[in-house]
Amino acid sequence: MDDLITALLIFRTYTNDPNPTHCEHDVMYVLVNPEDVTDEDLEKLATLSFRPDDEWGESFISYRFGSA
């Protein structure tokens, strides 16, 4: 739980969207453009199991937190 909260706090610095997340088929999406995120935060997010979504772009994905 702590890792998810830490990741969301990082994402909060990049969006004020009231609905920034989406889940489907064991994947959690966070609608933050990776190009807007600093290298330091990209590294932190990677250790927290979030990576840029290569397929759709302009978002991050996590299989760790998208699983039920």
In a domain, 34, yes or no: yes
In a domain, 24, yes or no: yes
d(CA 43, CA 37): 10
Residue 31 CB contacts under 8 Å (≥ 6 apart), including other chains: 15, 17, 20, 21, 22, 58, 59
Domain that holds residue 57: 2-62
pLDDT reported for residue 67: 73
Q: How many CB atoms lie within 10 A of CB 8?
A: 15
Can you give the pTM of this predicted structure? 0.91
In a domain, 68, yes or no: no
> Which regions of the chain are under pLDDT 50?
none
pLDDT reported for residue 68: 64
pLDDT reported for residue 56: 82
The total domain count for the chain is 1
